[in-house]
Amino acid sequence: MSDEKDLQQLKREAAQKAKEAALKKLAEKQAKQENLPSDSGDLAKQKAAAAAKAKAAALAKQKAQEAKANETIDDASLAKQKAAAAAKAKAAALAKQKAKETAEPADEAALAKQKAAAAAKAKAAALAKQKAKQAEGAGNESADDLALAKQKAVAAAKAKAAALAKQKAKQAEGAENESTDDLALAKQKAVAAAKAKAAALAKQKAKTEGAPADDLAKQKADAVAKAKAAAAAKAKASRENLSDDELAKEKAKAIAAAKAKAAAAAKAKKLTPDEQPQQEEPSPNEPILNKYVKVIGEQLGKDVLEEYYINRLSKDVPTLVAKRESYLAIAKLLKEHEELAFDYVSELHGTDFQTHMEMYVYLFSYVHRHTVVLKVKLDRDKPEIDSLEPLWKGADWPEREAFDLLGIHFSGHPNLTRIMMPDDWVGHPLRKDYEPYDVEV
């Protein structure tokens, strides 16, 4: 409270000082005017008017100062009021300016209204047309949302009930007392009986009508197919609880499929060996074999191989059959050429074909992860070939085994001695014409 009193006192003192200064200034002006000559009445009037104005200004200033001193106005409120007033004034000015700028003749305004109305009508018509099409596409469905909701609820309830019924049927089927083995046995018996019955009927019909053997076979096949299809359909019906109509459809499908299969089999059986369709696909190792042959042909010539092929009976392995005089050179190329790089002998053995002998060498490349078989044919009376032990140390023992059991001589082998049979054993046990030296053994 004391601070407010001091503030009021300061305001009053300031107002009093301002009043005194104004009065002093007014007195000085009047004194100056009195010292000037007053020759005419206009000068006197001007002085009087100036004096009156000065007095009025002083009184107004005094009143303002007194009102300001006696009243406490919140500065914040005053600022807000001023801002609001300024905003209103600005908004009014903008509205007035916009009204002037956007002012259009009465005819244009009416035309715009008409256009807007026409657009609204067109849009409403389009929406109505679209709604009509949707209602037409919906068929007999009611437009009432409540009825539609009821229909949806009924459909959902039906679907749920059907699902529960199906599940219950499956559970009931699973709870049957018959075991799986008994059911399978019954099916087999039914199929066998149907086959026997069909065969008997076909045979009887052939006897009575004198049908040819081909027709008889065809009738038998059709009868067997029908019986098998009927049994399959019946088994499916027992598993899935099919209705009579569904069972009939399944039977018809199965019979048609069985007939088609039987017809295809009969047609294939009638074809001669030359007419049999050959749909053998090319081996995925064919490009690899071609690569081997190309490298060998470029390095050693095209006449060093007797033949080459993909061995379908041995996992489609690429096979090279070398001429006897080119055997060692081809083996060396297979090991040392950078595109081939066969660094491992996984298998080496000989075979007696009675007319001749063959050496079979299975090679593998750990660098390129590919395989090849190198074969060479030998004279049975004097089987002799170069040793691969200098190229691959792993060929040592397999070559000794071929020497021991087949009598094949390997030129250049460092220790060509028996490895399985005793050194004094007579003959070579894997030759087709081998006869034991001691019959009692």
Taking only the tens place, the pLDDT of each residue in 212-235 is 555 656 666 666 666 666 666 666
- What is the tens place of the pLDDT at every residue in 375-392? 999 999 999 999 999 999
The confidence band for 143, taking pLDDT boundaries of 50, 70 and 90, is very low
Show the tokens assigned to 122. 């067109």
In this model, does residue 266 exceed pLDDT 80?
no
Distance CA 249, CA 261 (A): 18
Distance CA 387, CA 429 (A): 21
- What is the tens place of the pLDDT at every residue in 52-103? 777 777 777 777 676 565 554 455 556 567 666 666 777 677 767 766 655 5
pLDDT at 192: 65
pLDDT at 206: 59
More confident residue, 70 or 395: 395
The secondary structure of 52-85 as a DSSP string is HHHHHHHHHHHHHHHHHHH----HHHHHHHHHHH
Show the tokens assigned to 96. 């007035």
- Rounded to the nearest 5 percent, the helix, strand and coil shares of the chain are 65, 10, 25
pLDDT at 13: 84
Query: Distance from CA of residue 179 to its chain's centroid?
Result: 43
Distance CA 370, CA 184 (A): 49
More confident residue, 55 or 9: 9
pLDDT at 211: 47
In this model, does residue 246 exceed pLDDT 60?
yes
In this model, does residue 427 exceed pLDDT 80?
yes
The confidence band for 291, taking pLDDT boundaries of 50, 70 and 90, is very high
Q: How big is the CA angle at 52 (ends 48 and 54), to the nearest 5 degrees?
A: 115
For residues 305-330, give the mean pLDDT: 96
- What is the tens place of the pLDDT at every residue in 169-208? 666 565 554 445 555 565 666 666 666 666 666 666 656 5
More confident residue, 41 or 63: 63
Distance CA 331, CA 292 (A): 12
CA-based torsion, 263, 265, 266, 272: positive or negative: positive
Distance CA 376, CA 241 (A): 67
Per DSSP, the three-state class of 352 is strand
What proportion of the chain, given as a percentage, has pLDDT over 70? 48
- What is the tens place of the pLDDT at every residue in 338-372? 999 999 999 999 999 999 999 999 999 999 999 99
Q: Which residues of 408-438 are buried (b: 16+ CB within 10 A; e: fewer)?
A: bebeebeebeebeeeeeeeebeebeeeeeee
Distance CA 278, CA 269 (A): 14
Interstrand relation of 384-386 and 409-411 (parallel, antiparallel or unpaired): parallel
Position 296: which residue type? I
The residue to which tokens 């244009």 are assigned: 108
Out of 58-72, 160-174, 251-265, 313-327, give the one with best mean pLDDT.
313-327
The continuous run of DSSP H or E covering 365 comes out as: strand 357-365
